[in-house]
Structure 1
Amino acid sequence: MESIDKVKQDAEKLAAAKEAVKLVKNNDVVGLGTGSTATFAIKELAERMKNGLQITAAASSLKTEEIASSYGIPILKLETLGSIDLSIDGADEFTESLNLIKGGGGALFREKIVASLSKFSVIVADSSKKVDTLGAFTVPVEVVPLALQYVSDQLEKAGGSGILRKREGETFVTDNGNYIIDANFGLIAEPAELAFTLNQIDGVLAHGLFIGLTSKVIMARAEEILVFE
């Protein structure tokens, strides 16, 4: 049986996703995130398409591409796009200043590209994702495999302890053929500074700190919709 918490979280995700999908306009190119929250948004978009909405979409992962295609949403290749009208995605943590940790699902690099291409980037969240300070959730770091040891050492120098992500006993491999180190920095007082530090490490393709990339967070808390801009 699903836990009460999971049922509550899913209900909040669905409510927030419905609110976010209202922002999509006819002929928009929509960026689709990865994970359970984004899947709710995809289903809601498909419902609006049944009522005449016309969109194309760009997916932040192969999994999302598969799900969106199964609902009849036309997919454009990310590499062909100069901009995205609006993107909808989830987050692992967010603060009121719209700093995020993302990448729990392993799609952080592509999610970051989608966010960077987006004229307007909307994050959909349940109430458990809001924090005062980022860092209870580890920071995913996508690493080119041959740089694994070097990056691990550099993360340690930056004050983090990293664990190589595994799935079912095997090393997790991203859609880009890379590894993920889940790095624990404790609570992060200065996320922009840490993001800058991580950006300087050779071998890091992307990290899960999303700073200055979000236009709006739509969060559901029980029956209430809260918007952070």
Structure 2
Amino acid sequence: MSGELSPIDKAKFVAAKRASDLVEDGMRVGLGTGSTAAWLVRCLGERVREEGLRFRGVPTSTRTAELAREVGITVISLDEARWLDVTIDGADEFDGNFNLIKGGGGALLQEKIVATASDQMVVIADAAKRVEHLGAFPLPVEVIPFGWPTTQALIEEMLVSMDVMGRNSTLRMTGDAPYVTDEGNHILDLHLGRIGDPRQLSLVLNQIPGVVENGLFVDICDTVIVGFGDGRIELRDINTGETENERLDFVENENMFADLGDWKRD
């Protein structure tokens, strides 16, 4: 497998592999959406098959639910689980305070609900996702379809008073049609360049009529597991302030990740 993966894919894999070790029998686990989260689901499926691991997964999208069932993970809804032991998910960006931008894969609403319904949230990412300031990655904002141009105008007007570098926004598209989330909403991607105060921006965005939720995750993430292309892994815990460094040796595998080509982000 190591010969078939790019350095970024290797980094995502080692982070996901390390995070999969955190799951124990009987846990209720939130399963994120995106390319890195898909590696996690595959790694957990391997543990289910080879070790007999038994846990229940709460997916954050229909795509993740389908993949989890495919690899043998027991899938339940958040309504059934009510509360989770841990959620493990990717991120489009994270800063030194563990603030995140998420939603590149289009599932930010379910991802935020599931993450906040957990005892802890673990983020898995390649090293390129670590930034000094959030905002280089477009900030997704989920909005209802009704009157979305008005919502967009209100957002751009509000951004004039925010500590950001840019104020442009675009409606996310799928071909010639607007992208539709699992909840039937649209996504506006805000091209901000730099976000000076993620907490303030998140609070103000969610007060705008038509906005359902935004992709800023503030005070939600507890641990970040960063993978590197050479197999190194860095674990950072915001609660203890500790950082651990490990290394994972690559082992050839029967191409268990060959069908992940559609999982582009996070």
User: With structure 1 as the length reference, what TM-score do the two structures score?
Assistant: 0.95
1:76 aligns with 76
Q: What SS does structure 1 have at the residue aligned with 2:85?
A: strand
Q: CA deviation at 1:185?
A: 2.1
Matching of residue 41 in structure 1 with residue 40 in structure 2: yes
| C-alpha separation in 2, matches of 1:150 and 1:214 | 32
Q: Within 5 Å, which residues of 2 pair with 1:52-63? A: 52-63=52-63
Amino acid at match of 2:202: A
C-alpha deviations, 1:151-178, integer Å up to 9, x for none?
1012111223210000122210001000
Matching of residue 227 in structure 1 with residue 216 in structure 2: no
Q: CA deviation at 1:186?
A: 2.3
Q: CA deviation at 1:150?
A: 2.2
| C-alpha separation in 1, matches of 2:124 and 2:94 | 10
Matching of residue 125 in structure 1 with residue 125 in structure 2: yes
| C-alpha separation in 1, matches of 2:178 and 2:144 | 13
Kindly report structure 1 stretches of 4+ aligned residues shifted beyond 4 Å. Answer: none
| C-alpha separation in 2, matches of 1:155 and 1:81 | 35
Q: What SS does structure 1 have at the residue aligned with 2:109?
A: helix
Residue of 184, 202, 205 corresponding to 1:195: 202
C-alpha deviations, 1:50-80, integer Å up to 9, x for none?
2121101100000100010111111111233
Amino acid at match of 1:224: R
Amino acid at match of 1:182: D
Q: CA deviation at 1:205?
A: 1.0
| C-alpha separation in 2, matches of 1:104 and 1:49 | 28
Residue of 168, 179, 190 corresponding to 1:183: 190
2:255 aligns with none
Matching of residue 87 in structure 1 with residue 87 in structure 2: yes
Tell me, yes or no, if the aligned pair for 1:98 and 1:228 is still in contact at 8 Å: no
| C-alpha separation in 2, matches of 1:62 and 1:205 | 19
| C-alpha separation in 2, matches of 1:49 and 1:144 | 38
| C-alpha separation in 1, matches of 2:79 and 2:150 | 29
Larger helix fraction of residues: 1
| C-alpha separation in 2, matches of 1:215 and 1:169 | 39
* Aligned residue pair count: 225
C-alpha deviations, 1:121-147, integer Å up to 9, x for none?
100000110000000001100001113
| C-alpha separation in 1, matches of 2:191 and 2:81 | 34
| C-alpha separation in 1, matches of 2:8 and 2:188 | 26
C-alpha deviations, 1:97-138, integer Å up to 9, x for none?
100000000000000011111111100000110000000001
Cα RMSD (Å): 1.3
Q: Within 5 Å, which residues of 2 pair with 1:110-189? A: 110-159=110-159, 160-189=167-196
Tell me, yes or no, if the aligned pair for 2:14 and 2:228 is still in contact at 8 Å: no
C-alpha deviations, 1:171-217, integer Å up to 9, x for none?
10001000000012220011101011111112111110000110101
Structure (1 or 2) with the larger CA radius of gyration: 2
| C-alpha separation in 1, matches of 2:28 and 2:108 | 20
| C-alpha separation in 1, matches of 2:175 and 2:151 | 24
| C-alpha separation in 2, matches of 1:48 and 1:33 | 18
2:224 aligns with 217
Amino acid at match of 1:92: D
- Fraction of identical pairs, as percent: 41
| C-alpha separation in 1, matches of 2:20 and 2:96 | 21
